[in-house]
Amino acid sequence: MTNSIDATAGMDTLSGSSGSSKMFDQPVLSIRGINKTFTGQERDVVALSAVSLDVNKGEFISLVGPSGCGKTTLLRIIDGLDLADSGTIDLEGKRLSGISQDMAYVFQDINLLPWRSVRGNVEIGLEARGVEKSERQRISREFLEMVGLKDVMEVPPYTLSGGMQQRVGVARALAVKPKVLLMDEPFGQLDNFTREALQAEVATLWSQLGITIVFVTHDVDEAIFLSDRIVVMHRNPGQIVETLEVHLSRPRTQADFRAEPETIELRSKITEMLRSQEGGL
């Protein structure tokens, strides 16, 4: 832990080989003792209780759990969109306060700005960082190309389908070159086919860019398909109950992964954990 120099896990390293063989020396994100209570008129809701988690560099980690388990709240606290009542978050050893410029957030409801073109939406984070125009254009083109949207760069975003809009959402987040990408049920509102297509694209982008992703979902198969590790959460209070590793070799394909013995085992394990939670209510 004390040895903080890790030359092999840099941003540029291609880490698409296999999930289990990665070397994790130092967590890129270290979350310690997060508590969060929402004070309501009727009653207080303990959204998160003593949540601690380490996210390794280059890792794809998913938070799964029933609605109300605090997984989105946790993601928002990591980004700084919400404040924890107590607890700390360190990014590469640095204590975070407020919103970190080294992370980017992909929203479930996307929130593209309708008065800007697709390109303008991708460039807004770059404008905030003072990147000059020609460089902004180069970067937005690069990332829109990466998500297969270079032909619709100049159109307004509301003319695109939901799946294409979320591709823009992903490109907008990637364009600021975050160390950690936070994704909050990004495909929750999409139909099945579009969702599977986007899952495959995100897996590809992740392995190409060697980026760290924290992904919130309530879709167990989605978590298994994408993740190196799956964090299962319970509600009342929101807690981490178990962290499971996924050893399926990469690249995984939508057609094959579902029938793998490991997938079946993980799926029943996670589903059982979530079901016992339901029974406990």
CB of 254 to other proteins, least distance (A): 11
Total of chain residues touching other proteins, rule CB under 8 A: 41
Q: Which of 27, 125, 186, 238 binds other proteins (CB under 8 A)?
A: 125
When asked if residue 201 is in the footprint of other proteins (CB under 8 A), the reply is yes
Taking contact as CB under 8 A, which single stretch among the options 76-84, 85-93, 225-233, 237-245 is the one that binds other proteins?
A: 76-84
- Token pair recorded at residue 225: 């398909």
When asked if residue 105 is in the footprint of other proteins (CB under 8 A), the reply is yes
CB of 82 to other proteins, least distance (A): 10
Q: How far apart are the first and last CA of the chain?
A: 40
CB of 276 to other proteins, least distance (A): 34
With a CB cutoff of 8 Å and minimum separation 6, the contacts of 252 are 203, 225
CB of 275 to other proteins, least distance (A): 32
Chain positions 21 to 50 lying near other proteins, rule: CB under 8 A, are none
Q: Please write down the HEC assignment for all residues of 123-144.
A: HHHHHHCCCCHHHHHHHHHHHH
| Distance between CA atoms of residues 184 and 7, nearest Å | 30
Question: Which residue from 201, 167, 246, 217 is spatially nearest to 63, judged by alpha carbons?
Answer: 217
Element (H, E) at 76: helix 71-79
DSSP reduced 3-state for 53: strand
Residues 142-171, one symbol each (x = binds other proteins by CB under 8 A, - = not), give ----xxxx-xx---x-xxxx-xx--x----
Length of the chain: 281
User: 227 with 216: CB under 8 angstroms?
Assistant: no
Binding site for other proteins (CB under 8 A): 79-81, 99, 101, 103-105, 107, 109, 111, 113-115, 124-125, 127-129, 146-149, 151-152, 156, 158-161, 163-164, 167, 172, 176, 194, 197-198, 200-201, 204
